[in-house]
Structure 1
Amino acid sequence: MRFRVRVPRRVALAAGALTLLGAATAPGVAMATDRGPSEVSASVKPTVVLVHGAWADSSSWSQVLERLRKDGYPVRAIANPLRGLTSDTAYVSGYLSTIKGPVVLVGHSYGGAVITNSAASDPDVKALVYIAGFIPVKGETVGGLATQSSPSIPLVSTVVPDGTDVSIDPDHFREVFAGDLDKNTAAGLAVTQRPANTRAVTDASVEEAFRTVPSWSLITRQDHAIAPALQRSMSQRAGAHTEEVNASHAVMISHPATVTHIIEDAARDTQ
């Protein structure tokens, strides 16, 4: 079965310009650059809710958050519990119920699976944005998707009262998660990473919010945590508006302007 990647007209024009300059891009996919914040619309803006994934925390969104706020967007950065897809979905769904008005829901990495499920319970979610994110269909697990084409990640396991937590071996954190960040920044992220319970990768997905909610996906070409080919296939079957950037898995830190740009593209579609 062939899947069609939906690319906005302004992104397609940008891709054409890059082709004239000799840039190599995948067919039908725009190559994103680290562009500055988009123009502020005079109309009321949706609330942007940022959901981090495993081995990160809400502070990973700090540069994106600053740009969105500067452009006039109300922003929330959720502390994703990372205890399992089922319980994390319930937590985020409860959080969304406290927000009035339209929402743009953004998920990085494992956070993509969380927003795919939690958005189904909230009609105020008007757009989904996947940042190097997992986009499972019903019955799939994050672990099952990862084994299809992602590189093996060296993990450290810790037995805890509610199961087993895993984190990236600090000695390999930069190469897996943050290859385009300087060594000191990556080392800091390695020692402050939040472990995730194994249920995050074993709980099956039960909802497919992207079937009814427009979605966007930013694919990271230098990603060693989720293979770019897997990101593309998930984005294509979800019918997401897709862009690509030469970045590591930690794209919201290394390319915050690019991440902000695709979020604001999605936000404008809700207005």
Structure 2
Amino acid sequence: MSSAPSSARPTVVLVHDGCSDATSWVGVVAELHRRGLTVLAAANPLRGLAHDAAYLTSVLAGIDGPVVLVGHSYGGAVITEAGAAPNVVALVYVAAYLPEVGESYDALAQRFTPSPLLSRLRRTAYATAPVGQATELSVPGDCFGPLVAADLDPEVARVLAALQRPVDERVFTDAPTVAAWRGKPSWALVTGADRALPPPVQRFTAERAGATVLELPEASHAVAVSRPTTVAEFIHDAARPAAG
């Protein structure tokens, strides 16, 4: 694949969190379209960091021209690994963490007060090929509103809870082999009222990476749904330098 000229408009690729799916970006996608950007909301497999990053890398390989790669929460770990792809020109972390090489979420989170969501996650066994079992995590319906989406209408939170896709529990212990933010411009939107991913984790990793930071003090973990215009504008700001 030939490289695109630096003046080419970037494609924005959105990577969702665990216990979520690509529909969580619907409002952000609409807002980015209004700003004239091409957008792809990738389907994150949620089967482990190496697996998910490899899948995303294959998606990126099929895109001509530069890419602004956006990750929500665990999606931040995925873009940290997959963001090493040569056509990725900027990384945007939305209510996310920016892990270092060899640093799992569990190792990082031990430095901070734990999220109240961790002890409430539902663990369910699922079959793996050819023969085996693993454990996946989901958010109980009664926890989703108060702990994930406190700034949304309760009925909307119930819909999001019903749409969620469970995530393999290994995402807490998997660690990236590369930290793409070390060599590429990074942006981080910190959600100050987040009860799923502690704001101190978001702030610490964003500052460590030298990212451009915007903090929304009243925003929940579901900021892409509750504040799609603000999230889209933040992504658009990151895309402007990439567009030359």
| Normalised TM-score (structure 2) | 0.91
Secondary structure, aligned partner of 1:45: coil
Choose the corresponding residue for 2:100, options 137, 141, 160: 137
Within 2, Cα distance between the matches of 1:151 and 1:111? 17
Question: Does structure 1 conserve the Cα–Cα contact (< 8 Å) formed by 2:8 and 2:65?
Answer: no
Shift of 1:200: 1.4
Secondary structure, aligned partner of 1:75: strand
Q: 4+ runs of 1 displaced by more than 6 Å?
A: none
Shift of 1:145: 2.4
Aligned to 1:57: 21
- Alignment partner of 1:155 is 2:118: no
Aligned to 2:161: 190
Aligned to 1:6: none
Deviations 1:170-225 (A, max 9, x none): 11111111000011000111122110001211212111100111000000011001
Shift of 1:44: 4.2
Shift of 1:146: 3.2
Aligned to 2:131: none
- Alignment partner of 1:172 is 2:138: no
Choose the corresponding residue for 1:266, options 229, 238, 243: 238
Shift of 1:144: 2.6
Q: How many residues align?
A: 228
Aligned positions of 1:1-271 closer than 5 A: 44-120=8-84, 122-149=85-112, 150-153=114-117, 154-162=120-128, 163-245=134-216, 246-270=218-242, 271=244
For residue 144 of structure 1, what is the amino acid of its counterpart? A
Within 2, Cα distance between the matches of 1:148 and 1:170? 29
For residue 174 of structure 1, what is the amino acid of its counterpart? G
Measured on the aligned residues, the alpha-carbon RMSD in Å equals: 1.1
What is the percent sequence identity of the aligned residues?
A: 47
Secondary structure, aligned partner of 1:148: coil
